[in-house]
Structure 1
Amino acid sequence: MTHLQGKTVVITGASSGLGYEMARLAAKEGARLVLLARRLERLELLKETIESDCGVSDVLIYSVDVSNKNDVEKVFAEILSRCGQIDVLINNAGFGVFDYAHEARWEETEAMFQVNVLGLIACTQMVMPYMQARQSGHIINIASQAGKMATPKSSVYAATKHAVLGYTNSLRMELARDGVYVTAVNPGPIATDFFTTADPSGAYAKNVGRWMLQPEKVAKAIIQVIGTNKREINLPKWMNAGSIFYTLFPRVVERVGRKAFFKK
């Protein structure tokens, strides 16, 4: 018996990258998976792969845009009706666009907040009452090291991740009274197709390529802490140490690291 045996785990943004790897590992741990993303065809392929590789036959998939609150409410109502309960919610859906603040397009700014922040809150609000009533559950929000230390050309993206961390930290204290765990995940850059949208030029991915995390490693760290009262996951450790140093000595970090920060 594995630690997720029989648990219903909902993952948003599950069609590729980190979401894909978390889904695969959760299935191997015995979870009953519910996978959400906009791209239904990618979800169908993921469902086939997981059911074949992991010997399961009950992976549920839903096409949903988390920025649409009505769609979120409809889908989660159906999930709760079919599954009875949701034990774990992993809010993974999100995207970024790297632009200088004065060049940021309003439609992209609005879309990032709709998906990264409001979509995450909408999904969370759909599961909270049920977890509180059962006095158990785990909500995992994928934030970013950018939510701890902003850098040039990521002002809007960093702002959304700062918002995610603020929401998560408050939520953690509120739900602790009800026995519900809340974990923030703050990874550095991950080798996924995130950068296809964030930086079409490929410059940033090239500059930080040697430091990029592999999605399998991040996914493993997340799946391992499900069901434990883990406050945060910070990867890589050296980058998180930089974020802590920045909190203590912001002027020093901004002055010394200015040249490196502009490599986007």
Structure 2
Amino acid sequence: MRKNIVITGASSGLGEEMARQFAAKGRNLGLCARRTDRLEALKAELEKQYPDIKVSIKALDVNDHDQVFEVIKAFKAEFGQLDRMIVNAGMGKGAGIGKGYFAANKMTAETNYIAAMAQCEAAMEIFREQNNGHLVTISSMSAIRGMPGAMTSYASSKAALVALTEGIRADVMRKPIAVSCIMPGYIRSELNEKVKDTPYMVDTVPGVKAMVKQIEKEVGSAYVPWWPWAPLGYVMKRLPLKWLRYLL
């Protein structure tokens, strides 16, 4: 059992709900994010509900790469061993390329890919030293194809994360280190709370339950929830680009 789990971006959305669901399974949690007030409230909630687990919180801006290494090493020192690292922190700002929003598109790309690489690097250093561990990255169904408009930078950064994760998995296939990439469809969270009338949207709790199930299986990769995203994924890979924008 992966007893000690670190989750980045744990102050809201999918990260916050993953913390709740892993706490219910009796896991110790290292939770980090920029908004420490939210982490404090979550820590108090979880420790009251599950007094037998340990919950540690730390401030972390994943775009401060030196801090990423410091925080992950600090969690490892505190718990004694790091069993699972969930690279969850991300963002979705942006606009169509060439529309004058380079700063927002750049920030999304750096947060979702470069910062994720830093988190993977920090965790894998520990896992290689331990010769054990489970690295999990949270990508997106949008990684399957190039997406138009505001989704372009986000989708391409998540596609890069898929490739990064697969490369890491290939590198440690003969070691007792598991590497998983989870690709959620539309799961309600703070990232998309203002989006209305989105097809296939599922609520946070059941959506994250599907994510946690696949994480616990330590699959190489998974579309979640399976329905409708696994069949849609098959279609998305093959659909002519001019039709893709009407599917999602």
Common fold, TM-score beyond 0.5? yes
Is there any run of 5+ residues in structure 2 with no aligned partner, and where? none
In 2, Cα distance between the equivalents of 1:189 and 1:36?
A: 23
Is the partner of 1:212 in helix, strand or coil?
A: coil
Q: Distance in 2 between matches of 1:245 and 1:260?
A: 9
SS of 1:124's partner is: helix
The reply on whether 1:126 has 2:116 as its aligned counterpart is no
Identity among equivalent positions (%) equals: 28
Counterpart AA for 1:123: Q
Alpha-carbon distance between aligned partners in 2 of 1:92 and 1:22, rounded to the nearest angstrom: 10
The structure 2 residue matched to 1:88, chosen from 65, 71, 84, is 84
Q: Describe the shift of the 1:239–1:229 C-alpha distance in structure 2 as closer, same or farther (beyond 3 A).
A: closer
- Alpha-carbon distance in structure 2 between the residues aligned to 1:224 and 1:135: 24
- Residues 6-48 of structure 1 deviation map (CA, whole Å, 9 limit, x = unaligned): x110000001111111101111111110001010000000001
For 2:224 and 2:97, the matched residues in 1 are separated by 26
Q: 1:136 to 1:257 in 2, by over 3 A?
A: same
2:41 matches 1:45: yes
1:31-82 residue CA offsets vs partner (Å, 9 max, x unmatched):
1100010100000000011111222462100110011111112212222222
Change (3 A) 1:220 1:55: same
Q: Name the SS for the 1:211 alignment partner.
A: coil
**Cα shift at 1:260:** 4.8
- Equivalent of 2:190 in 188, 193, 197: 193
Counterpart residue type for residue 170 of structure 1:
G
Contact 1:50 1:56 in 2 (8 A): no
Partner amino acid for 2:118? A
Q: Distance in 2 between matches of 1:229 and 1:73?
A: 24
Rounded Cα–Cα distance in structure 2 between residues aligned with 1:219 and 1:55: 23
Task: Summarize deviations over 1:79-127 as a string: whole Å, max 9, x none.
Answer: 2222222100001100102422222522212211221111111111112
**Structure 1 portions without partners, runs of 5+:** 197-201
With normalisation by structure 1, the TM-score equals 0.86
TM-score norm. by structure 2 comes to: 0.91
The amino acid of 1:72's aligned partner reads: V
Q: Which of 119, 132, 139 matches 2:135?
A: 139
Q: Which amino acid aligns with 2:89?
A: A
CA-atom RMSD, angstroms?
Answer: 1.9
Aligned to 1:219: 208
Counterpart among 22, 40, 44 of residue 18 in structure 2: 22
Q: CA distance change for structure 1 residues 256 and 122 in 2, over 3 Å: closer, same or farther?
A: closer
